[in-house]
Amino acid sequence: MSIKSVAINTGGGDAPGLNAVIRSAVLAAINRGWKCYGIRDGYHGILIPELYPDGGIMDLTKDRVRGITHLGGTILGTTNRGNPLHFPVHQPDGSYMEINRIDELISKFKNHGIDALLAIGGDGSLTIANAFVERGFPVVGVPKTIDNDLFGTEVTFGFDSAVSFATECIDRLHSTAESHHRVMIVEVMGRYAGWIALHAGVAGTADAILIPEIPYNIEKIAQKVMEREQIGRHFSIIVVAEGAKPADGDVSIIGKSIGQAERLGGAGERVAKQIEKLTGKETRVVVLGHLLRGGTPTTFDRLLSLRFGTAAVRALAAGETGVMVGLDCSEIRCVPFSDVAGKMRGVPVHSDTILTARDLGITFGD
């Protein structure tokens, strides 16, 4: 491939480290003599240009990315709506139909002089990126999600920042839970994977951790609470992943909007009501939610983001396409989209961290 310009887009939920990826990719590309563009809000800058009077595609220069490594969020904006593979178009009767706008995007890329794309995102974004590759347009992906649920990489950037913040919150809740003799339920993000709940729960010395990979029995959680009560520990901390589900039930879904994945929520509240009923102990819920997405990335996430961004540019320069950069045994390697797109990496139920938690006396309700 002869590349003279590259576009960068960020899709899905935001994550600490996005700006670091953008900065490193821009600098690595400019240092190779390439021109860089940024697409606003996923692909909306191209698909809905009327929303951006100042331009849906921005020039990314060295000045534009100066001083953004430590900033949370993304200077390009992002969205988890309007998937170009299933783009919602409203009809006169108030209904809507979904159309595929991938070919339209590729045409507009070429009209703008864009030779290749760096797609920064999670499973949904990489599935879209794979559709470009199938049509012959060069793309390299960068794994982004606080959920840490992508195949092809040992860890995604944003995960360490989310776990660090969740752990700090759990630490703070210990003192107030003990002071008031309460059960504190901490609900964290993660969708259908329990990585955040597991790591933050173990690091924060929770008493119970509920994750999607291990369906729970609420009576066993209540039993743990009462066992602590009997030995004079009149409080308990329970960390609940938003995708956690009881053995005899399903995940808690709060809604689904047009062109958007279903939204999970309410798992913590469900557990709290049952625990209070079974134990008689006052139970409160803290939902960390989008707090886990914001803020300054940790040192680990900054460095990983910078490595991912430059590695993605090197991959394009070497003629790679249809691959995602990923961390493998401390080295950055390229993984084919076919090994990544449409797959979810859950927590192995016999992993060392699970075994560590069990040896520490933490229950998973199974």
**Distance of alpha carbon 239 from alpha carbon 200, whole angstroms:** 8
Contacts within 8 Å (CB) and 24+ apart, 255-260: 257/81, 258/81, 258/88, 258/96, 259/81, 259/82, 259/83, 259/86, 259/87, 259/88, 259/98, 260/80, 260/81
DSSP annotation of 122: S
- Residues in the chain, overall count: 366
CB neighbour list of residue 45: distance below 8 Å, 6 or more residues apart: 39, 52, 55, 56, 57, 58
Q: Which residue's structure tokens are 């066992």?
A: 227
Distance between CA atoms of residues 156 and 344, nearest Å: 13
**Residue among 123, 147, 149, 301 flagged as catalytic:** 147
Secondary structure class of 196 (helix, strand, coil): helix
DSSP state of 13: S
Helix residue spans in 189-239 (DSSP H): 195-203, 218-230
Give the number of C-alpha atoms closer than 13 A to the C-alpha of residue 300, restricted to the C-beta side. 12
Instruction: Specify which residues 21 forms β-bridges with.
Output: none
Determine the straight-line distance between the first and last CA of the chain, rounded to whole angstroms.
53
State yes or no: is 14 an active-site residue.
no
Q: Tell me 180's DSSP state.
A: H
Q: Which residue numbers are catalytic?
A: 147
